Chains A and B, each alone.
Chain A
Amino acid sequence: MAASTLPTPGKRFVIGVPYVWLIVFFFLPFLILLYISFVDMGNDINPFKPIWDSQTGLLKLKYENYWSIFRSGEGGPMFQTLYVEAYLRSLWYALCTALLCLAVGYPFAYFIARSSPSVRPALLMMVMLPFWTSFLLRVYAWKGILADQGVLNRALMFLGFTSEPIQLLYTDVSMLVGMTYVYLPFMVLPLYANLVKMDFRLLEAAHDLGASPFKAFWLVTVPLSRAGIIAGFMLVFIPSVGEFVIPSLLGGPENIMIGRVVWDEMFTSNNWPRATALAVVMIALIVVPLAIYYHYTGDAAEAAK
C-alpha cells in the first residue's frame, strides 16, 4: 500500500493552497466573466448593470450580447458581422499556422529522431533555445527582416528576383511567417517525442517487402506517428486562435483576429458585456476541438490497453 508521505494536516495544506488559489484566480474570474456577458451595458462609471432588476427583484438574463455577435442590425443577415468574420479569420489563420508548422516541423522532427543519439540532445536544445529568449523580441525582429527596406527585400533585389521592394510586412505572408516561427517548437517537440520511439525496423521491413520509400513513409511512419501529429496540431492550433501579439505587430488592418476584437471592445468601445460574450464564444470555439482531441486520445489510450 503506497501511503501518502504526509500526515493529514500536511496533506490538507498541500491540496488546500493550490485549490484555494485556483478557485480565487481561475474559477471566480470565469464566473464573473460569464456573469457580465449576460447583463446590460452600463454607463461610463459602471461599465455594466446589475443582473437583478431593482424594481421587480427578478433575475433577468440578457442574451442580446450573444445575439449581437451573430446578427447585424435589425432583420439583417445572420453570421455576416464583423465578429463572425474575426472568429472565422482566427480559425483560418490558426489552421494555416498548424498546417505550415506540420509541413516544416514533421521532416524536421523526423530527421532529428533519425540522427545519431549522441547529437540529438544538442539538436533538441537548439530548438528550445530560441523558445527561451523573448518571443516578443523575436517577432519584432521579423518586422525588421520583412520591412520594405528590410534584409529580405534587399536580398531579393540584390539577387535580381525583383527590382522593387515587395510588400511583405503587414500581409498574410508576414502574419503566417511570424505565427509559424513562434509555434514551430510546439509542433516539433511532441512529434519528436513520438518519432524517436518508433521502431525503424518496421520501415526496413516495408522496404524488404517492396514498398517504395514514399509508400513506406506514408503507410508506416505517418500512421504510427498519428498521436504526435494530433498533439502537435492541437498545441499549435489552440493558442493560435487567440493570438494577440503577432497580428498586432506583423498583421495588416485586414488581419484582425478575435483576440484583438475582444481587446478593442473592452478598452476602446468600453462595452464590457460584449467583450465578455465574445470571450465566452472564443472559449466555446476552443473547447470543441479539445473535446474531439480528448475523444481521440481517449480512444487511443483504450486501444493501447
Chain B
Amino acid sequence: MKNFLEKHFGKLWLVMVYLFLYLPLIFMIVFSFNSTRQDAEFTGFSLRWYEALTRDTKIVEGFWLSLKVATVSGLLSAMLGTFSAFVLVRYRRFGGRTIFSGMVNAPLVMPEVVIGLSLLLLMVGAQNFLGWPQRGMLTIIFGHTLLGMAYAMVVVQSRLLEVNRSIEEAAMDLGARPHQVFFLITLPNIFQSILAAFLLSFTLSFDDVVIAEFLSGPGVNTLPQVIFGYARRGINPTIYAAATLLIATVTMVIVGYSVWVARQTRQREREIAAATRAELTALGAI
C-alpha cells in the first residue's frame, strides 16, 4: 500500500509540474485561434490573428532582424565558444589562462542588465572616439555573441572532455598533419556539440530582450523588443499567433535534431558492432 501510494504520488507530481510548464504554451496556442479578443472565453475558431500578424510590419521587420542577428551571433558564438573550449580543455598552460577562463565564464552569472549597460557604455565610447559603430544591428550582434559564446563554450567543452585523445594520437603516429587530425578526427567528433552550441546561442539571441534594449538604436527593434513593447501595453492575440508559429518551428527543429542525434548514435553503434564482428572473424581466422 505504501509503495502504491508513493508510486502514484510521483506520477501525480510529474503530471502537475508538466501541466504547469506547458500551461502557457497551450493557452497561447488555443487563444491564437480565438475569433475575438477575449482573455478567457473561446468564442470560435478563426485565423484572423494570423492574418493580422502578416500585416503587422513591426513584427515582420522585427522577425527578420532577429533572424539575421541570431544567425550571425549564433555562428560567431559557436566559433568563439569552440575556440574557447579548445583553449580551456587542450591548452592547459599559457599566460593569462586564469583570466581567460574567468572572462569566458563571467557572462553566465553576470546580470543581463549589467552586460547590456557596460556594452552600451563601450559602444558610446567607441562612437565618440572612432565614430563607429552606430547603435543598431551590429551592436546587438556583439552583445548577443558575448553572451552566446559563454554558453556555447560550456556545451562544446563538455563534449571535448569526453573525446578520446588516443585516436588523435594514433592519427598523428600514422603521419597525419595537425590540420588533418583536426579536420578529419577532432572536428567530426565534436561537430554535434558545435551544432547544439549554435542552436543554443541562436535561441538565446532570438529570445533576448534586455541586451537588445540597451544596444539597439532608434527604429531598430528585434522581435522580442517588439513583443516586449506590446506586452507592456496589454493582451494582444496577434502575439499568441506569433508564439504558436514559434512553438511549432522550435518543436520541429528540436524533434528533428533529436531524431538526427539518435540516428547518428545508432549508426555509430552499428559501425562499432560491425568493426567488432570483423575483428572477431579475423581472430577466428587466425
Binding site for B on A (CB under 8 A): 2-7, 10-11, 14-15, 17-19, 21-30, 32-33, 36, 104-105, 107-108, 110-112, 114-115, 123, 125-130, 132-145, 147, 149-151, 153-154, 181, 184, 213, 238-239, 241-242, 244-245, 248-249, 259, 262-263, 266, 272, 275-276, 279, 282-283, 286, 290
**CB-defined contacts of A26 to chain B, threshold 8 Å:** 103, 106-107, 146
**CB-defined contacts of B103 to chain A, threshold 8 Å:** 22-23, 26-27
For B41, the closest partner residue in chain A by CB is A154
With a 10 A CB-CB cut-off, give which of A30, A125, A239, A266 has the most chain B CB atoms: A30
Query: How many Å lie between the Cα of A36 and that of B172 in the bound state?
Result: 52
Q: Which of A137, A239, A263 sits near B28, CB closer than 8 Å?
A: A137
**29 intermolecular pairs with C-beta atoms under 8 Å apart:** A2-B165, A18-B84, A19-B87, A21-B145, A21-B149, A22-B146, A23-B103, A26-B107, A29-B119, A29-B122, A32-B121, A33-B117, A33-B121, A107-B13, A108-B13, A108-B14, A110-B10, A133-B25, A134-B207, A134-B246, A140-B231, A141-B27, A150-B39, A184-B21, A249-B232, A262-B113, A262-B117, A276-B117, A282-B111
Q: In the complex, how many residues of chain B place their beta carbon closer than 8 angstroms to a beta carbon of chain A?
A: 81
Q: Which of B39, B109, B120, B254 sits near A151, CB closer than 8 Å?
A: B39
Query: How many Å lie between the Cα of A115 and that of B15 in the bound state?
Result: 13
At the interface, yes or no: B4 with Cβ under 8 Å from chain A? no
Q: A22-B103, A134-B206 are in contact. Are A263 and B113 (CB under 8 A)?
A: yes
With a 10 A CB-CB cut-off, give which of A108, A128, A249 has the most chain B CB atoms: A108
* 112-149 of chain B: CB within 8 A of chain A: 112-114, 117-122, 125, 142, 145-146, 149
At the interface, yes or no: B31 with Cβ under 8 Å from chain A? yes
On whether the beta carbons of B111 and A132 are closer than 8 Å, the reply is no
With a 10 A CB-CB cut-off, give which of B17, B100, B235 has the most chain A CB atoms: B17
At the interface, yes or no: B203 with Cβ under 8 Å from chain A? yes
Query: How many Å lie between the Cα of A120 and that of B211 in the bound state?
Result: 35
Q: Which 3 residue pairs across A and B have the least CB separation, nearest first?
A: A242-B111, A141-B24, A29-B118
On whether the beta carbons of B24 and A147 are closer than 8 Å, the reply is no
| A229 nearest CB across to chain B (Å) | 17
On whether the beta carbons of A286 and B209 are closer than 8 Å, the reply is no
* 239-253 of chain B: CB within 8 A of chain A: 239-240, 242-243, 246-247, 250-251
**CB-defined contacts of B25 to chain A, threshold 8 Å:** 130, 133, 138, 141
Given contacts A17-B80, A29-B122, A123-B14, 16 further A-B contacts (CB under 8 A): A5-B172, A17-B83, A18-B100, A22-B146, A33-B117, A132-B250, A133-B247, A134-B227, A137-B242, A150-B39, A239-B109, A262-B114, A266-B120, A279-B117, A282-B111, A283-B111
On whether the beta carbons of B112 and A279 are closer than 8 Å, the reply is no
Binding site for A on B (CB under 8 A): 2, 6, 10-11, 13-14, 17-18, 20-25, 27-28, 31, 39-41, 80, 83-84, 86-87, 90-91, 94, 96, 100, 103-104, 106-107, 109-114, 117-122, 125, 142, 145-146, 149, 165, 168-169, 172, 178-179, 181-182, 186, 203, 206-207, 209-210, 224, 227-228, 231-232, 235, 239-240, 242-243, 246-247, 250-251, 254, 258
For B79, the closest partner residue in chain A by CB is A17
On whether the beta carbons of A140 and B112 are closer than 8 Å, the reply is no
For B109, the closest partner residue in chain A by CB is A238
For B166, the closest partner residue in chain A by CB is A2
For A262, the closest partner residue in chain B by CB is B113
Q: Which of B83, B114, B210 sits near A279, CB closer than 8 Å?
A: B114
On whether the beta carbons of B118 and A279 are closer than 8 Å, the reply is yes
Q: Which of B18, B104, B239 sits near A18, CB closer than 8 Å?
A: B104
Query: How many Å lie between the Cα of A36 and that of B240 in the bound state?
Result: 42
With a 10 A CB-CB cut-off, give which of B40, B122, B145, B178 has the most chain A CB atoms: B40
Query: How many Å lie between the Cα of A30 and that of B104 in the bound state?
Result: 14
On whether the beta carbons of B14 and A136 are closer than 8 Å, the reply is no
On whether the beta carbons of B28 and A141 are closer than 8 Å, the reply is yes
On whether the beta carbons of A145 and B207 are closer than 8 Å, the reply is no
**CB-defined contacts of A144 to chain B, threshold 8 Å:** 27-28, 31, 39, 235, 240
Query: How many Å lie between the Cα of A267 and that of B214 in the bound state?
Result: 9
On whether the beta carbons of B40 and A154 are closer than 8 Å, the reply is yes
Query: How many Å lie between the Cα of A150 and that of B38 in the bound state?
Result: 9
Query: How many Å lie between the Cα of A181 and that of B22 in the bound state?
Result: 10
Query: How many Å lie between the Cα of A17 and that of B90 in the bound state?
Result: 16
Query: How many Å lie between the Cα of A136 and that of B247 in the bound state?
Result: 13
For B14, the closest partner residue in chain A by CB is A111
For A122, the closest partner residue in chain B by CB is B258
On whether the beta carbons of A30 and B209 are closer than 8 Å, the reply is no
On whether the beta carbons of B239 and A137 are closer than 8 Å, the reply is yes
On whether the beta carbons of B86 and A104 are closer than 8 Å, the reply is no
| B237 nearest CB across to chain A (Å) | 9
On whether the beta carbons of B118 and A141 are closer than 8 Å, the reply is no
Query: How many Å lie between the Cα of A240 and that of B227 in the bound state?
Result: 21
Q: A141-B243, A279-B114, A286-B109 are in contact. Are A5 and B6 (CB under 8 A)?
A: no
**CB-defined contacts of B114 to chain A, threshold 8 Å:** 33, 242, 262, 279, 282-283
Q: Which of A10, A21, A245 sits near B80, CB closer than 8 Å?
A: A21
